[in-house]
Homo-oligomer: A and B are copies of this chain.
């Protein structure tokens, strides 16, 4: 049975993007600092085609584990990018260049239809307009016996958490106060039941992993 595994970097005050998000600055002011811990890691570099160098250690192990056994991805429209509304001339192909680091099928939640987009390296983006459950069914089919990664952003995660569809949630908590922006754990309540799996202290980031209890 495939699991839906959600992992994301979050500031200590609960934001996954800083204030004043824009097309030029999709992570908002200060938001890029939330990923400082990840871009220097060996596994991150490997994912982006650079096999030499990068830091190893606990953070690299955690990042590596979070993608282990993952064979499909779901993300919200904002995370794919290209602005709101219809897809226009289709020139927007995501933030990740010609060879995105997924190398599997990626399901983008959107209200606007678009034909699937084949990229280099085995990544295909599918644009799902009939809701989160449909996207999860399609991702589960694509993943086979492996798991599905819920990549974010906040609103997609809130919808899947509220619907009781997430199995595991890992928050990479960065010791930073952003003071505004997009808060991950908003619009949710005590109906979402969590059980801690572990807490790991990395280099300037704390990894908190939870099981989401199905009620």
Q: A196-B204, A196-B206, A199-B199 are in contact. Are A179 and B175 (CB under 8 A)?
A: no
- A23 contacts the other chain (Cβ, under 8 Å)? no
Q: Which residue of B lies closest to A206 (CB)?
A: B199
Say yes or no: A175 contacts B13, CB within 8 Å. Answer: no
- A151 contacts the other chain (Cβ, under 8 Å)? no
List B contacts of A195 (CB < 8 A). Answer: 175, 204
> How far is A14 from B179 in the complex, measured between Cα atoms in Å?
13
Q: Which residue of B lies closest to A189 (CB)?
A: B179
CB distance from A186 to the nearest CB of B (A): 7
User: Contacting A185 at CB < 8 Å: which of B14, B189, B205?
Assistant: B14
By secondary structure, the A interface counts as: loop
List B contacts of A189 (CB < 8 A). Answer: 177-180
List B contacts of A14 (CB < 8 A). Answer: 13-14, 185
Say yes or no: A176 contacts B190, CB within 8 Å. Answer: yes
Copies in the complex: 2
- A143 contacts the other chain (Cβ, under 8 Å)? no
Say yes or no: B185 contacts A177, CB within 8 Å. Answer: yes
List B contacts of A178 (CB < 8 A). Answer: 189-190
Q: Which residue of B lies closest to A203 (CB)?
A: B196
- A194 contacts the other chain (Cβ, under 8 Å)? yes
CB distance from A76 to the nearest CB of B (A): 19
CB distance from A187 to the nearest CB of B (A): 8
Q: What are 10 A-B pairs at a CB distance below 8 A?
A: A12-B194, A14-B185, A175-B195, A177-B188, A179-B190, A195-B204, A196-B201, A196-B205, A199-B206, A206-B208
List 8 A-B pairs, minimum CB-CB distance, nearest first. A179-B189, A13-B185, A175-B194, A199-B201, A199-B199, A199-B206, A14-B14, A177-B192
Residues in chain A within 8 A of chain B (CB atoms): 12-14, 30, 173, 175-180, 185-186, 188-190, 192, 194-196, 198-201, 204-206, 208, 210
Beyond A30-B190, A179-B190, A196-B206, 4 extra complex contacts between A and B, CB < 8 Å? A175-B196, A176-B194, A177-B190, A177-B192
